[in-house]
Amino acid sequence: MAQVLYHQFPLSAEAHRTAASSSSKPMKHISVSTPQKGPLKRLQKTQKLNLEVSPHRAVSAVRLMRIELGGAFADLLNEKGKGSGENEMGYVERTLGFRTRELNDQDLRLVTDIVGGTIRWRRYIDHLISSLSHDKNIYGMEPLLLQILRIGFYEIVKLDMPHYAVVDENVKLAKVALRPGAGNMVNGILRKLVLLEENQSLPLPKVEGDDRSQARALATLYSHPVWMVRRLTKYLGQEEAIKLMMWNNSEPSYSLRVNHAKGFSRGDLVKQLTALKVSHKISLHLDEFVRIKTGLQIVIHAGLLRKGLCSVQDESAGLIVSVMDPQPGDTIVDCCAAPGGKTLYMASHLGGLGKIFAVDVNSGRLRILKETAKLHQVDGVIATIHADLRTLTDSEVLKSNKVLLDAPCSGLGVLSKRADLRWNRKLEDMEQLIKLQDELLDSASKLVNPGGVLVYSTCSIDPEENEERVTAFLARHPDFHIDPVDQYIPADFVTDRGFYSSNPVKHSLDGAFAARLVRGS
Ligand SMILES: C[S@@+](CC[C@H](N)C(=O)[O-])C[C@H]1O[C@@H](n2cnc3c(N)ncnc32)[C@H](O)[C@@H]1O
């Protein structure tokens, strides 16, 4: 039986509307009055607390709607941790017409799993939904109904949760948040899915026919855009492309970098993680890094990031800093610096001596860099410059022996962490990005002193953004040559041409690339 509690608070128009529109819903409720003070006394806000629907499903459905309709980033929302649960309840109430109880840690973990997984598996799930629905145009469905179906499909097919409990819970959500008819529809489709899943006869495409048909089938089976499958297959071959897509669909793992500038050591971090019962592994490659598979929410909740004691940073990004080899006393130009992951790590190597000029065209992201630098107590060696790099080329002040260009890129190396990125990227972006990368490389090269080094890096595994950009650059700038990176990073990451390349499947890290390009003296 549905249970709805009415709390009395100062009334908003929104709450009036919600209360009125929901009165027709077939739910029983009780009212609880809270005394009000002063002139607000007569104004009453009604908040409905629904204790029957599962909170993590209600929150997941609304989060998915916000991401899809609002274009917000899934990982950004996830990183807000428990606090976002409270803010989010406002969205839940406005979207569904009721609040649920506050989320506990287990609910939050489920929301993270369900939202990330449902986004990653969207193409696969949507294929199944449209195969089992009467109406094949599933994108014409009410957005909330589609999200509830996606959650149910993901839970049954990919999380293997108890099937009939999943059906019941999602039917309940559809009935309460939409109407009884929507619940009946969810019931019919999910029950069909359970039967097919239990008989191992899901209607999935076969990988056969010409390249195009095979790419389409793989795109559905491994839930990636067709253009991406074709590109991955072209560069890696089908077998490796499949392994990479499976990696992209897996739960991401994270690394934490300790911040020595705060007097916090890796030993201290390990102690804290042990006390928090977050299982962890020391990085094999970098002294300041610790890997965690799960428990990021616990780390966030414990305030380790907020206090500036550590940052979330992938080791693949840390290895780019190793390729830069920052030393005390260096002057470094970081050409595309924001939000500052590499700037801050480089700054921690300077030991208070030297300067990093952190350039970025995005003022909001640059503000985050400044604030984090202060929090990490490395702001003394960082100067921020808000500018388009392409306008800075005549600036003598910025001439330096070490220049980093961590270029805007497709992010094809970080798809496991950026669940929604694959759906936001378009093939046309690649052409634009490549053009921008060439322009930025040309601009960055003008800041390098004779004998100095330009490090070009990306978080992509796409050769057109990596090796090919370097080749094209060297053809335009014969005064530069490749300085092999083998003395800066482990041999396992060094390519035949002397570049740094991390491979998600091989190294269990994000994909990244870097080249050291030295200007002749
Ligand atoms: C890959 S991100 C940099 C990440 C950063 N290095 C870090 O480790 O946190 C690329 C950055 O390039 C910046 N950018 C893009 N075009 C630019 C331009 N023309 N001039 C300067 N910065 C630019 C973007 O604003 C974005 O912050």
Length of the chain: 521
Confidence band for 12, pLDDT divided at 50, 70 and 90 = very low
- Helices 315-324 and 341-350: crossing angle in degrees, nearest 10, is 50
* Distance (Å) from CA 97 to ligand 1 centroid: 40
Catalytic residue among 310, 335, 336, 459: 459
Helices (H), 418-463: 421-424, 427-445
Check whether residue 305 and residue 388 sit in a common domain.
no
- Cα 349 from Cα 91, distance rounded (Å): 43
Check whether residue 217 and residue 361 sit in a common domain.
no
Give the pTM. 0.87
pLDDT over 70, % of the chain: 87
Check whether residue 423 and residue 495 sit in a common domain.
yes
Check whether residue 244 and residue 267 sit in a common domain.
no
Residue 76 clears pLDDT 70, i.e. is over it: no
Among 312, 338, 356, identify where a domain stops.
Answer: 312
Domain limits for position 435: 315-519
Check whether residue 191 and residue 121 sit in a common domain.
yes
- Cα 319 from Cα 481, distance rounded (Å): 21
Active site residue 336: no
Ligand 1 atom with least separation from CA of 362 = 25
Check whether residue 258 and residue 114 sit in a common domain.
no
Q: Identify the residues whose C-beta falls under 6 Å from ligand 1.
A: 336-342, 359-362, 365, 388-390, 406, 408
**Residue bearing the CA closest to ligand 1, atom 25:** 362
pLDDT over 90, % of the chain: 76
> For 371-402, how does the pLDDT look when each residue is reduced to its tens digit (9 = 90+)?
999 999 999 999 999 999 999 867 677 899 99
Pocket test residue of 73, 316, 361 for ligand 1, highest count of atoms within 8 A of CB:
361
Among 291, 312, 333, identify where a domain stops.
Answer: 312
What's the structural domain count of the chain? Answer: 4
Check whether residue 301 and residue 323 sit in a common domain.
no
CATH number at residue 481: 3.40.50.150
CATH number at residue 263: 3.30.70.1170
Ligand 1 atom with least separation from CA of 408 = 10
Q: What is the pLDDT of residue 47?
A: 63
Position 439 in a domain: yes
CATH number at residue 75: 1.10.940.10
Q: What is the pLDDT of residue 5?
A: 31
Position 23 in a domain: no
Query: ipTM score of the complex?
Result: 0.99
Position 17 in a domain: no
Residue 85 clears pLDDT 90, i.e. is over it: no
**Residue bearing the CA closest to ligand 1, atom 13:** 336
User: If you search the block for the tokens 């060439």, which residue do you land on?
Assistant: 438
* Distance (Å) from CA 473 to ligand 1 centroid: 19
Pocket test residue of 360, 417, 421 for ligand 1, highest count of atoms within 8 A of CB:
360
Confidence band for 348, pLDDT divided at 50, 70 and 90 = very high
Q: Is 329 helix (H, G, I), strand (E, B) or coil?
A: coil
Position 38 in a domain: no
> For 14-30, how does the pLDDT look when each residue is reduced to its tens digit (9 = 90+)?
333 333 333 333 333 32
Check whether residue 99 and residue 127 sit in a common domain.
yes
Check whether residue 346 and residue 482 sit in a common domain.
yes
Check whether residue 409 and residue 494 sit in a common domain.
yes
Check whether residue 307 and residue 322 sit in a common domain.
no
* Distance (Å) from CA 408 to ligand 1 centroid: 5
Check whether residue 412 and residue 491 sit in a common domain.
yes
> For 435-458, how does the pLDDT look when each residue is reduced to its tens digit (9 = 90+)?
999 999 999 999 999 999 999 999
Residue 37 clears pLDDT 80, i.e. is over it: no
Position 430 in a domain: yes
DSSP code string of 258-295: E-GGGT--HHHHHHHHHHTT--EEE-SS-TTEEEESS-
Position 298 in a domain: yes
Residue 398 neighbours by CB under 8 Å, 6+ apart: 333, 357, 359, 385, 392, 447
Q: What is the pLDDT of residue 407?
A: 98
* Distance (Å) from CA 278 to ligand 1 centroid: 32
Q: What is the pLDDT of residue 91?
A: 80
Among 287, 312, 337, identify where a domain stops.
Answer: 312
Position 84 in a domain: yes
Position 24 in a domain: no
